[in-house]
Amino acid sequence: MSMTRSEFNRAAVLVGAGVVVTGGVALKDRRPREPRDPTGPATARDLKPLASVPQSDNEDPLLRMERELARAMAKPVEQRKWVMVIDQRKCVGCHACTIGCVTENHLPPGVVYRPVVTEETGEYPNTKLRFLPRPCMQCEEPPCVPVCPVKATWRRPDGVTVVDYDQCIGCRYCLTACPYGARTSDFGRYYTEGAAAGAPTGENRPVAGAAPHMAYEETANNELGKSWSRERHQSPVGNARKCHFCLHRLEEGQLPMCVSTCIGRATCFGDANDPGSLVTELVARQSVYTLLSHKGTNPRVFYIA
Amino acid sequence: MNSAPSLFRPFRLTNTTGTPYLPKELPWRKILWFVWLVCLVAGSTGVVQRFTQGHLPAGYGSYVPWGLWIGLYFHGVGMAGGAFALGSLGYLLGWPGFQDERNLRQVIVLAVSAMLPAFFAVWLDLGHLDRFQNIFLHPNFTSMMAFNAWMYYAFLIIAGVCWFLSYQPNRQQWLKPLLCLAALFSVLFPSQSGAFFGVVDAKGYWHSALLPMMFLLSALTAGGALLMLARILIDASADQPPGPEEQARSHALIGRLRWVTVVGIVGYFVFEFAEFSVALWNPYLHAPALELVLFGPYWWVFWVVHLLLGGALPLGLLASRWRLGWTISALLVALCFLSARLNVLIPGQAVSEIRGLQEAFQDERLRYIYHATPMEYLVGLFAVALGMTAFVVGRRINVAAHRWLDPRSKD
């Protein structure tokens, strides 16, 4: 190599510095971070659900979960540990949870937070159907978080992984990192694309032609406690989207929509830090399993098969 | 033995005789302009479509979120890194044909020209084009994507400084040290492209430690081929035919890159064989992504584009003494090694960890099948035109800068 000694020394210093800086940068963001969400007593909520409904011993699980929810919300956010337990023996595959979620979050075509997978086992005629609702697993070690290049997704103190739609650049790296396929991208489509539009007057009445989509599809949803309108292709169009356990509903003392709409009471939700909660009881007493446990993500959605 | 077989014959700098690299009677400059124009005009329609209709005309969805553009991106940055690593290494080691600053500047321009279309492709792939700067303003360095982006950024700055210093004979004592750093980065970012996929535990097919090595090797191979092709086309389309000294330099450079490409192709296929054979050795092992690569709907991408056109045929041509064959090989390798990227990218995404998920909620964007659409191909053509434009403009800047920056030119 035709380098002088001083050139070689400079090269060694520069390359060494380059390696050190690169390594330092790689390690920098691996340190534990301060929570991005507010914590402490200010996050506690004084909710009074079902004040007019007297409590009974054998009340509907939905009523019990609502009372437990109020109890959990009275604690600061960092003391809550949201968990979902899905009893597959009770799930009838009605997809009410899927549709409830679509309407609650105003999900466009191609975006789904809670599909229900149909599993068929055995051979005809000895076959058996089983249903597997698949919300976001709210993993304790979510693989979608570290891959985000812009810190647009993180895990809240209560364990729910959320997305900042204003920060997300729509690179879809998190979609590939989720082994459960729980993240979907909003490509800006509408269910009512090309729908017939009525004409108030004129010779073509009653149909004026096809509308790009119906206006109601642009009405804002309330995900993550903020009003998101899809008007003029604003976020969440172009973003990665995912189930967030209906955090906006929890703040108002309402259970996640998929829990409220479950006709078989197959989906239970609550605070695992509350020893008297239904979900704690189910996880402790029943034989539960988690999806793709070998991936080491430690999901907070448990299944009873 | 009187004469060694041509494969092992030592290279001689003065060996400028033999068949030409391209038929001299053809108007290569006009042909290149025509190719550029076709790519630009056809490609522009795709770009317009992307800006007016967003992602709707694209074929990717939520279960296969990355398609052709991401393949082009990784191919482009890989070629840029590979070409720069070889060009700078040749300069530092004093390889014949590589030692002069003019060639170094051309290598820098070529690397930047390969990177620009790659960045363009990945930019168009974003859901929010207006937020790309977030990756620089709010980077998360646990993400290989942010790490990669910053690596390009650092590389471009250092390569720019090297380009400037190459005109400054009085400050040459910093050129080689900085070039060492830039060369390190140019080797790092193609490897990181492999790590980009390798760190994704969710995809069994991607989660391999061999992937960064394979990406680096394919980057060096395709980058070497691109460097060779660029030199051949520059010589063929020059206003004046190159003089004997210039010819000798070109010949030396092409000769060296010819062997780099041969070694790269062989090395890549050895790595690929290692990866595939381990996965397929156990007859009871289920490797759905590999089965997709080998026997899926895009079997021809592996067997025809990758193995035949990107491997066997260029190897045969490069081993021969037919110089036009070397040119064809360089073109084939530079183009067809894109399939090496696509064969990692697409099948890795096209397998679900949860059986029946695709059927659970039916939608055209919720499928584990991906077909690139005409818009994606057209944008790909535009990216090629963009790269060609950047290279031509860069070369002109090189000439202009020579007048302004190099004090020797004012003597």
The answer for B 26-55 residues in CB contact with A (under 8 A) is 54-55
Q: Does a structural domain hold residue B2?
A: no
Q: Which residue would you say has higher pLDDT here, A233 or B70?
A: B70
Q: Which residue has the tokens 């909520």?
A: A45
Do A169 and B127 lie within an 8 Å CB cutoff? yes
CA distance A170 to A174: 9
Q: What average pLDDT does range A138-150 have in this prediction? A: 96
Res B8 pLDDT > 60: no
Q: What is the 3-state secondary structure of chain B?
A: CCCCCHHHCCCCCCCCCCCCCCCCCCCHHHHHHHHHHHHHHHHHHHHHHHHHHCCCCCCCCCCCCCCHHHHHHHHHHHHHHHHHHHHHHHHHHCCCCCCCHHHHHHHHHHHHHHHHHHHHHHHHHCCCHHHCCHHHHCCCCCCHHHHHHHHHHHHHHHHHHHHHHCCCHHHHHHHHHHHHHHHHHHHHHHHHHHHHHHCCCCCCCCCCCCHHHHHHHHHHHHHHHHHHHHHHHHHHCCCCCCCHHHHHHHHHHHHHHHHHHHHHHHHHHHHHHHHHHHHHHCCCCCCHHHHHHHHCCCHHHHHHHHHHHHHHHHHHHHHCCCHHHHHHHHHHHHHHCHHHHHHHHHHHHCCCCCCCHHHHCCCCCCCCCCCCCHHHHHHHHHHHHHHHHHHHHHHHHHHHHHHHHCHHHHC
Residue B292 forms part of a structural domain = yes
The ipTM assigned to this model is 0.91
Contact residues, A window 4-43, toward B, CB-based 8 Å cutoff? 4, 6-8, 10-11, 13-15, 18-19, 22, 25-26, 28-30
Share of chain A above pLDDT 70, in %: 98
Mean pLDDT of B282-287: 78
- Confidence (pLDDT) at B5: 45
Share of chain B above pLDDT 70, in %: 94
Contact status of B399 with chain A (Cβ, < 8 Å): no
Q: If pLDDT is split at 50, 70 and 90, which confidence band does B2 have?
A: very low
Q: Is the pLDDT of residue B50 over 90?
A: yes
Span A103-123, average pLDDT: 94
3-class secondary structure, A219: coil
**Residue A233 confidence (pLDDT) above 90:** no
Tokens, residue B278:
């381990």
Quick: pLDDT tens for A54-92.
888 889 999 999 999 999 999 999 999 999 999 999 999
Confidence of residue B99 (pLDDT cuts 50, 70, 90): confident
Structure confidence by residue, pLDDT tens digits, B296-328: 888 999 999 999 999 999 999 999 888 899 999
Answer whether residue B145 is part of any domain: yes
Average pLDDT of span B354-358 = 93
CA–CA min distance B364, chain A (Å): 7
The residue of chain A with its CA nearest to that of B172 is A7
DSSP A255: -
Most confident region among A33-42, A196-205, B357-366 by mean pLDDT: B357-366
The sign of the torsion formed by the CA atoms of A103, A105, A110, A115 equals negative
Does residue A198 carry a pLDDT above 80?
no
Categorize the per-residue pLDDT at B392 as very low, low, confident or very high, splitting at 50, 70 and 90. Answer: very high
- In angstroms, the separation between the Cα of residue B359 and the nearest Cα of chain A is 7
- pLDDT tens, residue by residue, B62-83: 999 999 999 999 999 999 999 9
Whether the per-residue pLDDT at B3 is higher than 70: the answer is: no
Is pLDDT above 70 for B11? Answer: no
Q: Amino acid identity of A262?
A: C
Residue B347: is the preceding peptide bond cis (ω within 30°)? Answer: no
C-alpha span between A298 and A274 (Å, rounded): 19
Let me know if residue B27 belongs to a domain: no
**CATH number of the CATH domain containing B160:** 1.20.1630.10
Residue B320 and residue B278 in contact, taking contact as beta carbons nearer than 8 Å: no
User: What DSSP string runs through B68-90?
Assistant: HHHHHHHHHHHHHHHHHHHHHHH
Residue B10 has pLDDT above 60, yes or no: no
Q: What are the residue boundaries of the structural domains of chain A, listed by start?
A: 52-304
Phi, psi of A91, deg, nearest 5: -75, 125
Bridging pattern class, strands A301-304 and A82-87: parallel
What pLDDT, on the 0 to 100 scale, is given for residue B54? 92
- Nearest Cα to A69, choosing from A295, A305, A276, A263? A276
User: What whole-number distance in Å separates Cα of residue B313 and Cα of residue B307?
Assistant: 8
* B residues 115..174 contacting A (CB < 8 A): 125-128, 131-132, 134-135, 138-147, 149-151, 173-174
Bridge-partner residues for A267, per DSSP? A86
Range of the domain at B149: 45-410
Inter-chain residue contact B66 with A176, CB threshold 8 Å: yes
- Kindly list the residues from chain A whose CB atom is less than 8 angstroms away from the CB atom of residue B359: 117-118
**In this complex, which of A13, A110, A152 lies closest to B363 when CB atoms are compared?**
A110
Confidence class of residue B1 from pLDDT cuts 50, 70 and 90? very low
pLDDT the model gives residue A204: 64
State residue A196 phi and psi, 5-degree precision.
Answer: -65, 130
Q: Residue B19 domain-assigned?
A: no
Q: What is the C-alpha R_g of chain A?
A: 24
Q: Which residues of chain A neighbour B144 with C-beta distances below 8 Å?
A: 147
Q: Which CATH number fits domain A52-304: 1.20.1260.10, 3.20.20.140, 3.20.20.150, 3.30.70.20?
A: 3.30.70.20
Find out whether A200 and A212 touch, Cβ atoms under 8 Å: no
For chain B, the domain total comes to: 1
CB contact under 8 A, A30 and B63: no
The amino acid at B309: L
| Residue from B141, B179, B192 to probe the interface with A (highest A Cβ count within 10 Å) | B141
Using a CB–CB cutoff of 8 Å, tell me whether A178 touches chain B.
yes
